[in-house]
Chain A
Amino acid sequence: MTREKALQLMQVSLDSLQRSGVLKERIEVSSDTVILGSRSSLDSLGFVTFISDLEERVSAESGRERYLVIGDIHSLNADQTFLSAAILAEYIERITQ
């Protein structure tokens, strides 16, 4: 799965969470969007819900069970105090290769 596709899936996921009321406002995803961190629009529960939903979509899209492991994601970004959409997309690209 390409990073671009991963970013698309993130947008689809966040939009569905907004429609279901988990998110109050729409989040427009770009590479710089902060997913986890002080500047994120997601609170902790919102993040968990987003990651769980995204995991299902990545699995469905790739045709195989995939697991988004938070500890593994952060290992790609050890010097930062936040998780960006770009880093998450890079991780999804890697695990779906």
Chain B
Amino acid sequence: MVNDNSPAMVITGTSRGIGNGMAHFFLGKGFRVAGCSRAESTITHENYIHARLNVGAEEQVRTWVRSIKNDFGRIDILVCNAGYAPANLLMAMTPGDVLEDLFRTNIAGSYYVCREVSKVMVLQKSGRIITTSSMAVGLHEEGTSAYAASKSAIVEMTKIMAKELAPLGITCNVIAPSMYMTDAVQKLGDKVIDRALDKLTIKRKLTIEEICNVVTFFADPVSSCITGQVIYMGLVC
């Protein structure tokens, strides 16, 4: 680690997509970043440490967060980004194992990471927790019942967490991005992507800088009175 005094940030789901972009962005700003994914790290940087784990596995998360505390000494910012969207399936066609795996990763995964990191932050009496919802919550599109439900749960969880942790100076907020181009989104095909973009208020894909701008706002020390809020990007909800 180059600078032990620089802010310590945890981001889940850093192997690709928004998490990967976010990690690169904040490393470029001089942050120390701890990331995780099920795959090997795709980031090489002297201020980055990586763990391979499944955020839906409670024990793995517990051990991981402890190791970050030992390595960094503190955790200033958590971005719960890890999650996925299965292929669009009507509820009547969604298998139980797809539903359960989705809820385990998207809801329980965020829950476990937030729980363990909050225990570090309560001892610091400071911290910023940012969870990730989705435009799916506002669009109520057919085929997204499981995914949108999981992202809606994240909003409620975060608002309650915000009230619980407020007395100790920890803020908890939600970022809900619209369309960001990732490998997974690309696989949906141009037709699906164009249809989704057409439903947005701002009908274009987001940039990583725009997403990180919202994270930066939530994480800023001056945003200490901003908690329990959801910023939907590109969509009026």
Contact = CB atoms under 8 A, between A and B. Distances in A.
Nearest to A53: B123
Sorting the interface of chain B by its residue count into under 10, 10 to 19, 20 to 34 or 35 or more gives: 10 to 19
A18 to B, nearest CB: 14
A45 B123 contact: no
Interface in A37-63: 44-45, 48-49, 51-53, 55-56
Contacts of A45: 122, 164-165, 167-168
Interface residues of A, number: 13
A52 B119 contact: yes
Interface string B64-76: 0010000000000
Nearest to B119: A52
Contacts of A20: 125
Contacts, number: 27
B164 A49 contact: no
A82 interface: no
Interface in B115-138: 118-120, 122-123, 125
Interface of B: 62-63, 66, 118-120, 122-123, 125, 164-165, 167-168
The 9 A-B residue pairs with the shortest CB-CB distance in the complex, in nearest-first order? A52-B119, A49-B122, A52-B123, A65-B66, A67-B62, A48-B122, A52-B122, A53-B123, A45-B167
Given A45-B164, A49-B122, A52-B119, 9 more contacts: A20-B125, A22-B125, A45-B165, A45-B167, A48-B118, A52-B120, A52-B123, A55-B119, A65-B63
